[in-house]
Structure 1
Amino acid sequence: MRRSTIRSTLCWLALMLAPLNVQAAAPAAEKVPEYALDPTWPKLPLPNHWALGLINGIHVDAKNHLWLYHSPELVPKYALGAAQTPPTGKCCVAAPAIIEFDEAGNVVRAWGGPEDAKKQGYDWPSAGHGLYVDYKGNIWIGGSQTRVGADGSQPDGLYLKFSPDGKFLLQIGGPGPSKGSLDTTQLSGAAAVDVDPVTNEVFIADGYGNHRVIVFDADTGKFKRQWGAYGKPPTDEKLPRYDGGPELPKQFNLVHCIRSAKDGLLYVCDRLNNRLQVFKKDGTFVAEQVYEPMTKGSGSVGNVSMWPDAKNTFMVMNDPGNFETVILRRSDLKELSRFGHYGTYAGEYQRNHQMEFDLKGNIFTSEDFRVQKLKIVNGVKP
């Protein structure tokens, strides 16, 4: 075959294949936000020589303020010189458990901890976990401990609700061991909540000890309904964690997050099974997706947060087992980008626990003793 004939044939093939190639490449060309560390957030040092313990939860409210929940009792002893009697150094004292930061990273207010609980007459979690700001501005926190601690502390079977200034409003459950995943009076290591502004229901990821989503009235604490994986009744059967194979587990293994989208769908993180499951508000199963199926350790699906546009086009997902941030397209749960790696320097992740969008699409990440802010650098906006 002559060279001219070969060249003509190749050009014809290229023209015939071009529409297919363009169509296949369209999703990859989707404008996805890209990020870089914002070293100006928060404003440091924190006031009053404050030091932070383990970061238990973060959430962004309707004013674009970040709320942070940490464990004051887990500030390292070497950092508490100013709290000793007499002081052994100028730094530091443990910060209050709940801190509100404004958009610029300044502390707005802070409150909470075991002493506040004693004064107001409610139970404080033994091992704090999760913070959520509901549509009324109220603050929800829980705890993840499922056994009696070495210090005699009780398992966390509760979730708490407060006003923005720290006034105690509601306690669901109480300290003590699980009564089983079908019991409606007690939680067990509940990891996260989401509150529906339409029905005023609180959806709880009751997942360190129990294996379910459970729903209560957000004002009275009255039980409404519950479900396990695939919308089936939850069980307490001891199941092995997912092994990465084709057969997916029939029950949850550490329900670590729950988050609602504006269209009413609920997204549930089944952390140790490396998957995200989607439900309607009544518990009807809709879809699921597995990510990095061979991941062990902390698992690959830690939490999700919704991109703040009208359709919640994207989600950010925390992958704690691989020390990465993942951007998903919400409509089909497809992974669009993945970045991050292990390390202790600014912009790296050591024990990434939670990732949250703010109202401008920036991302906040929490670890044991710090929160970092990642800002959009490619002009994509919600």
Structure 2
Amino acid sequence: MAKRQGGGNYLFESVDNWCKIDIPGVVSDVATDSEDRVYLAVRTAQAFDDNTGAILAFDRDGNHLNTFGEDKLRTPHGLWITPDDTIYLADTFDHCIRTYSPNGDPGMVLGVPGEPGPAGSPFNRPTLAVTSPVSDDLFVSDGYRQNRAHRFSPAGVDPEAASPYAHLKRGWENSEWELTASWGGGDLNYHDDLSWGSTEKHGTGPGEFLLPHGIAVDNEDRAYVMDRSNDRIQIFDRDGNYLTEWSTPSPNQGVFDTDGFMHVPGDGRMYILSPDGSEVAVWGERGHEPWQFIGGSHGLWIDSRGDIYIAQVGVPNAINKFARI
């Protein structure tokens, strides 16, 4: 039985039994393309020496269309889809970012698959890669081990800005991107007593991270980093200069809607934040009903109609759809 959720002007109704198949694993994240096709990042097997994953595609009614990426993916974590339908997948245990077409054709690889970056250098268990809505830049939260955020620009666009980070470049498999900003725990911007790149460090101060689990970019090119284990969202300009922060319990990800409000899954709930960070609505609860979260609210996407998809980790076969009403 469908149930109404949300608050204020944000009301949703659960779409029970949306997915028409049993998903073969844990759904880490979800995103939709320009035709509202739905893509799930699925961890099909997770063991010490046997991590596998795939991307599953569906129509908006939950009918399975295709599966791809099984030959490469190890631990799918964060999904992002651009307006031209390029799919970005952050593979945490493979230490890289991969792209795919909606049909599953592989594109570029950013990072060295299977090899974690050394201290200060991308990537060591990255969590999400997103594109800016106002520039051609790519922002990455990096993640479980580096406690950093990075900005990449198309190669050759801003070579002067790239030069301070030449020592962090690691011989990527492609030459499409240049690292043009990098910041976080251990950075000299925030720790005068630490050498450059001591990114095993983490902290609670401005610009320090304790698991940057996701990242979002607004229409002014500001980066919002989901500093999950510090229970906050930190906001930076595009160069990584600290601006402010919002207190939010265990933010996993942040997605802006068309009105500039941010929707944040975290701590088994959903938070809707205004452009100044104030809470507009808090909804969601744990439980076994179709509208409840049996696992953790981990990934989120908003489709063209304002409907919300929520991926849950901690349990297999858990994806929720809520229709905007």
TM-score range relative to shorter protein: 0.7 to 0.9
Superposition pairs of residues 223-302 of structure 1, within 5 angstroms: 223-228=179-184, 232=189, 235-239=198-202, 248=205, 251-292=208-249, 300-302=250-252
CA–CA separation in structure 1 for the residues paired with 2:86 and 2:232: 29
Kindly indicate whether the alpha-carbon contact (under 8 Å) linking 1:171 and 1:221 is maintained by their aligned counterparts in 2.
no
Letter in 2 for 1:192: L
Aligned to 1:216: 152
Shift of the 134–161 alpha-carbon distance from structure 1 to 2, 3 Å rule, reads: same
Superposition pairs of residues 119-134 of structure 1, within 5 angstroms: 124-134=72-82
Q: Cα deviation per residue 1:139-184 (whole Å; 9 max; x = unaligned)?
A: 1112223xxxxxxxxxx32111122222222111121233012x2x
Q: In structure 1, which of residues 191, 198, 217 is the aligned counterpart of residue 127 of structure 2?
A: 191
Where in structure 2 are there 5+ consecutive unaligned residues? 1-6, 155-174, 191-196
Q: In structure 1, which of residues 344, 347, 358 is the aligned counterpart of residue 288 of structure 2?
A: 344
CA–CA separation in structure 2 for the residues paired with 1:141 and 1:188: 15
Shift of the 254–223 alpha-carbon distance from structure 1 to 2, 3 Å rule, reads: same
The answer as to 2:91 corresponding to 1:161 is no
Q: Cα deviation per residue 1:11-67 (whole Å; 9 max; x = unaligned)?
A: xxxxxxxxxxxxxxxxxxx9521223111523x2x2xxx532111221122222221
Structure of higher RCO (CA pairs closer than 8 Å, 6+ residues apart): 2
Superposition pairs of residues 296-315 of structure 1, within 5 angstroms: 300-309=250-259, 312=260, 314-315=261-262
Kindly indicate whether the alpha-carbon contact (under 8 Å) linking 1:60 and 1:67 is maintained by their aligned counterparts in 2.
yes
Kindly indicate whether the alpha-carbon contact (under 8 Å) linking 1:308 and 1:357 is maintained by their aligned counterparts in 2.
no
Where in structure 1 are there 5+ consecutive unaligned residues? 1-29, 76-94, 115-123, 146-155, 243-247, 293-299, 378-382
1:211 Cα deviation after fit: 1.4
Q: Cα deviation per residue 1:207-227 (whole Å; 9 max; x = unaligned)?
A: 111011112246713222212
Aligned to 1:357: 302
Superposition pairs of residues 71-86 of structure 1, within 5 angstroms: 71-74=43-46
Q: In structure 1, which of residues 35, 40, 61 is the aligned counterpart of residue 33 of structure 2?
A: 61
Instruction: Describe the SS at the equivalent of 1:338.
Output: strand
Instruction: Describe the SS at the equivalent of 2:229.
Output: helix
CA–CA separation in structure 2 for the residues paired with 1:51 and 1:237: 35
Shift of the 249–227 alpha-carbon distance from structure 1 to 2, 3 Å rule, reads: closer
CA–CA separation in structure 1 for the residues paired with 2:188 and 2:254: 20
1:373 Cα deviation after fit: 0.7
CA–CA separation in structure 2 for the residues paired with 1:257 and 1:250: 15
CA–CA separation in structure 1 for the residues paired with 2:222 and 2:246: 15
Letter in 2 for 1:34: L
* TM-score normalized by the length of structure 1: 0.67
Instruction: Describe the SS at the equivalent of 1:272.
Output: helix
Instruction: Describe the SS at the equivalent of 2:245.
Output: strand
Runs (4+) of structure 1 moved beyond 3 Å? 229-235, 237-240
Aligned to 2:266: 319
CA–CA separation in structure 1 for the residues paired with 2:289 and 2:281: 22
Letter in 2 for 1:173: G
Equivalenced residue count is 283
The answer as to 2:311 corresponding to 1:366 is yes
Q: In structure 2, which of residues 19, 23, 26 is the aligned counterpart of residue 51 of structure 1?
A: 23
1:125 Cα deviation after fit: 4.1
CA–CA separation in structure 2 for the residues paired with 1:96 and 1:267: 27
CA–CA separation in structure 2 for the residues paired with 1:365 and 1:287: 27
Superposition pairs of residues 136-175 of structure 1, within 5 angstroms: 136-145=84-93, 156-174=94-112, 175=114
* TM-score normalized by the length of structure 2: 0.78
Q: Percent identity?
A: 23
Kindly indicate whether the alpha-carbon contact (under 8 Å) linking 1:308 and 1:359 is maintained by their aligned counterparts in 2.
no
Higher helix share: 1
Kindly indicate whether the alpha-carbon contact (under 8 Å) linking 1:57 and 1:129 is maintained by their aligned counterparts in 2.
yes
CA–CA separation in structure 1 for the residues paired with 2:53 and 2:26: 12
Letter in 2 for 1:284: N
CA–CA separation in structure 2 for the residues paired with 1:129 and 1:348: 22
CA–CA separation in structure 2 for the residues paired with 1:203 and 1:100: 24
Aligned to 2:163: none
Q: In structure 1, which of residues 166, 178, 181 is the aligned counterpart of residue 117 of structure 2?
A: 178
Aligned to 1:41: 18
Letter in 2 for 1:282: D
Aligned to 1:27: none
Instruction: Describe the SS at the equivalent of 2:45.
Output: helix
Instruction: Describe the SS at the equivalent of 1:34.
Output: strand
CA–CA separation in structure 2 for the residues paired with 1:363 and 1:35: 8
CA–CA separation in structure 1 for the residues paired with 2:292 and 2:270: 11
Instruction: Describe the SS at the equivalent of 2:296.
Output: coil
